[in-house]
Amino acid sequence: MNKNLLSFAILALAVVILVVNIWKPGSTESEKTTPAPTGESVDTTEDIPGAKLSSLREGAEAPDFELKTLGGEIVKLSDYRGKRVILNFWATWCPPCKAEMPHMQNFYEQYNDQGVEILAVNLTSMDKGVEEVQKFVDEYGLTFTIPLDEEGDVGTTYQAYTIPTSYILDENGVITKKVIGPMDEKMMRELTGVK
């Protein structure tokens, strides 16, 4: 009987830890990592195909990509130069992504005319298919651009292993912040510098 109780307690603890990690507010990458000692650079690339961690650091130019949208248009990240960009990676089955999407839509409606764009890349290779993505977009009334990462290459390049993951890019396509977890409108305003 005691072994069953102990097993149940361990399982309950694991579930609580998982829930807390999934639902905690978005945090930025710089909050999660410790800086390297002065003069040293840290390259944490660990044989991840297509991953270029050193090119994803704050202050580095975001790797360009070309994807097809739900509407069949081809979009390139570099086409958005001159605007600040929230580059978001998400999936329809992800509860924190579902919680974040209404905030993204409200932010987009409020600030799109101030030179801020949202590119919400659906990790289609990990999702339930294009039809589910379209259903999700219709249900949430999303009007910002939704590129489809059907091969999974862009998600891998941008290390979108925990979703949602977002990169904030300045007008020159330079990464200013990486955010792991959902964002709300206040956080988006602060990170993009809109008033």
Question: Tell me, what CATH number does 182's domain have?
Answer: 3.40.30.10
The residues pairing with 177 across neighbouring beta strands, listed in sequence order, are 168
Q: Do the domain assignments include residue 3?
A: no
* Strand order from edge to edge, sheet including 74-76: 27-28, 175-180, 165-169, 84-90, 116-122, 147-148, 66-69, 74-76
Question: pLDDT at position 21, please?
Answer: 53
| Residue 65 backbone phi and psi in degrees, to 5 | -155, 165
* Domain contains 19: no
| 164 located within any domain | yes
Q: What is the pLDDT along the chain (195 residues), one digit of tens a residue?
A: 566 666 666 666 555 554 445 444 444 444 433 333 333 333 333 444 444 444 789 999 999 999 999 999 999 999 999 999 999 999 999 999 999 999 999 999 999 999 999 999 999 999 999 999 999 999 999 999 999 999 999 999 999 999 999 999 999 999 999 999 999 999 999 999 998
Looking at the DSSP bridge assignments, the partners of residue 121 are 89
In a domain, 14, yes or no: no
Asked if residue 18 is part of any domain, the answer here is no
Q: How far apart are CA 1 and CA 32, in angstroms?
A: 40
- For the chain, what is the domain count? 1
Any domain includes 110: yes
Domain membership of residue 61 as a residue range? 27-34+48-192
Residue 135 lies in a domain: yes
Cβ-in-10-Å burial (0-12, 13-18, 19+) of 104 comes to buried
pLDDT of the residue at 195: 83
4 domain residue, yes or no: no
Burial (CB count <10 Å: 0-12, 13-18, 19+), residue 63: middle
> What sign has the CA pseudo-torsion 136, 137, 141, 146?
positive
What pLDDT was estimated at residue 37? Answer: 32
